[in-house]
């Protein structure tokens, strides 16, 4: 079972322009994500999945500078970009995350890679970690089925609903111990407030190499007032139109199950 680690990343954000290039303690946001991926075992390659749009060229340069692969695929269709990257690198399974999450949990990422290598489940997810800390896992055959079922629908930036369908796919949820179960902690990067919080954590928590998520959770537990920094930031959700389209596509998958 060939497992790759795929990082989806673009520089098109209007809420926080060029956020993946912002500095955290001497490294760019996206470089922290790459560094964490490099610490994992059992993956065949790390691939930064971006687009051929000239605005994303800096990400290609960063991939090359950090000695990982890159793939320039669909600008808008994230699932097709992942699918085509898996095809190019002949992956049986992908484990991955988006590029704005420099504190994803390496422990649970390793658990997911180990589970993915068994090839038993179509979709692997984690529930309970702080927002921005959980990776995901998709078997290539499941990704291929969804891409065929969705046809020319390209609005797939939020895509988990396509796979979290037990009637169609074999889904496993990785549990999180109580010590890390903090789903209300927001550790992703979408807004300026998120960056202020992440910068605070990187400056105030002592670490060497890579910061452990357990240290972050412990620090926030002891200093809960810092959650006020990005408390009122709202996570992007699905529109009614998107929900209806997802249900339509899931219906096609069920018919073919």
pLDDT tens digits, 181-215: 999 999 999 999 999 999 999 999 999 999 999 99
- The reported pLDDT for the residue numbered 236 is 84
Average pLDDT, the chain: 97
Question: What pLDDT, on a 0 to 100 scale, did the predictor assign at position 257?
Answer: 55
- Convert the pLDDT of each residue in 178-189 to its tens digit: 999 999 999 999
Is 64 in contact with 54 (CB distance < 8 Å)? no
pLDDT at 5 over 80: yes
Parallel, antiparallel, or unpaired: how do β-strands 136-139 and 93-98 relate? antiparallel
What does the alpha-carbon distance between residue 70 and residue 139 come to, in Å, rounded to a whole number? 20
Residue 235: band (very low, low, confident or very high) from pLDDT cuts 50, 70, 90: confident
Beta bridge partners, 28, equal 23
- Fold observed for domain 3-256: Spore Coat Polysaccharide Biosynthesis Protein SpsA; Chain A (3.90.550)
Segments making up each domain of the chain, as ranges? 3-256
């Amino acid at each position: 079972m060939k497992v790759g680690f795929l990082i989806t990343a673009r520089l098109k954000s209007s809420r926080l322009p060029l956020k993946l290039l912002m500095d955290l303690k001497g490294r760019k946001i996206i470089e922290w994500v790459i560094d964490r991926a490099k610490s994992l075992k059992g993956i065949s390659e790390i691939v930064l999945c971006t687009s051929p749009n000239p605005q994303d060229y800096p990400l290609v340069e960063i991939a090359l500078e950090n000695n990982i692969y890159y793939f320039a695929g669909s600008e808008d269709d994230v699932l097709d970009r992942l699918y085509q990257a898996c095809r190019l690198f002949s992956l049986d399974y992908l484990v991955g995350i988006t590029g704005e999450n420099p504190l994803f949990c390496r422990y649970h990422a390793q658990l997911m890679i180990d589970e993915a290598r068994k090839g038993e489940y179509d979709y692997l997810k984690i529930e309970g970690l702080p927002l921005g800390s959980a990776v995901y896992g998709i078997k290539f055959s499941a990704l291929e089925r969804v891409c065929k079922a969705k046809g020319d629908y390209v609005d797939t930036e939020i895509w988990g609903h396509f796979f979290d369908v037990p009637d169609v796919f074999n889904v496993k949820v990785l549990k999180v111990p109580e010590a890390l179960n903090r789903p209300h902690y927001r550790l992703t990067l979408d807004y300026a407030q998120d960056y202020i919080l992440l910068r605070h954590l990187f400056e105030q928590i002592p670490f060497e190499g890579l910061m452990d998520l357990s240290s972050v959770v412990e620090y926030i537990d002891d200093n809960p007032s810092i959650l006020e920094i990005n408390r009122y930031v709202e996570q992007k959700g699905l529109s009614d139109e998107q929900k209806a389209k997802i249900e339509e596509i899931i219906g096609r998958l069920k018919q073919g199950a």
